């Protein structure tokens, strides 16, 4: 190797050692403390800036709400009762009757203007009487059938049962 090549290799090795020292030994020590302090300072500035913005932009009503929200309420606005709450259904008897009659609505067909319901495996149209039961079909919908007890004006809704 010539003298010139030795000098070039020496300078290259020297620059590699210097680069290693700068990036891996000196830099982490400086960056760690500087980054933590700068991040902490920027976070504190951000928080104080947001706090000032909210103080300036809050109306009297908002300030009052924020002030009163964490305090204990004298009267609870939610329902609190020892009795059990029950909804009053309008057609409770009809719903019970639908369960008692044991009629299953399992299919719906629309053929032109005719609606056909399949009840207990048999096909019926509106106005027909159910076989051996004393019920008349009043209205057929894709999701339910309304039947009426023969001789009475009591309607029972039977929902579609998907199999």
| 3-class secondary structure per residue, 19-74 | HHHHHHHHHHHHHHHHHHHHHHHHHHHHHHHHHHHHHHHCCHHHHHHHHHCCCCCC
Does 144 reside within a domain? yes
Structure tokens given for 142: 């894709």
43 and 97 together in one domain: no
Does 72 reside within a domain? no
Confidence of residue 141 (pLDDT cuts 50, 70, 90): very high
Does 70 reside within a domain? no
41 and 96 together in one domain: no
Q: What is the tally of structural domains in the chain?
A: 2
Does 39 reside within a domain? yes
Q: How much of the chain, in percent, has pLDDT values that exceed 90?
A: 21
Does 82 reside within a domain? no
59 and 10 together in one domain: yes
φ, ψ dihedrals at 134, nearest 5°? 85, 20
Does 84 reside within a domain? no
The domain in which residue 19 lies consists of 3-65
For residue 2, the surrounding DSSP H or E stretch is none
pLDDT in tens, 64-118: 877 777 777 677 667 666 777 666 655 545 544 555 678 888 999 988 888 999 9
Does 57 reside within a domain? yes
110 and 152 together in one domain: yes
98 and 150 together in one domain: yes
Does 77 reside within a domain? no
Residue 145's CATH number: 2.30.30.830
Location of structure tokens 């009659």:
101
Is 70 exceeded by the pLDDT of residue 123? yes
- Residues 93, 155: contact at Cβ < 8 Å? no
- Residues 26, 20: contact at Cβ < 8 Å? no
Burial of 124 (0-12, 13-18, 19+ CB in 10 A): buried
Structure tokens given for 161: 């049962």
Helix ranges (DSSP H) in 73-127: 92-101
- Residues 124, 138: contact at Cβ < 8 Å? no
Location of structure tokens 């300078």:
11
Rounded to 10 degrees, the C-alpha dihedral 127/130/133/136 comes to -10
């Amino acid at each position: 190797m010539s003298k010139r090549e030795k000098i070039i290799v020496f300078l290259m090795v020297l620059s590699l050692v210097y680069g290693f020292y700068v990036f891996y030994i000196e830099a982490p020590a400086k960056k760690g403390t500087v980054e933590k302090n700068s991040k902490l300072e920027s976070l504190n500035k951000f928080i104080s800036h947001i706090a000032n913005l909210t103080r300036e932009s809050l109306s009297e009503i908002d300030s009052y709400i924020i002030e009163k929200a964490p305090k204990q309420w004298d009267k609870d606005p939610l329902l609190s009762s020892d009795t059990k709450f029950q909804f009053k259904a309008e057609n409770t008897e009809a719903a019970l009757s639908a369960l008692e009659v044991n009629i299953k609505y399992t299919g719906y067909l629309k053929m032109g203007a005719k609606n056909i319901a399949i009840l207990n495996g048999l096909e019926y149209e509106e106005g027909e009487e159910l076989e051996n039961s004393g019920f008349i079909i009043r209205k057929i919908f894709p999701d339910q059938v309304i039947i009426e007890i023969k001789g009475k004006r009591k309607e029972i809704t039977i929902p579609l049962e998907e199999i």
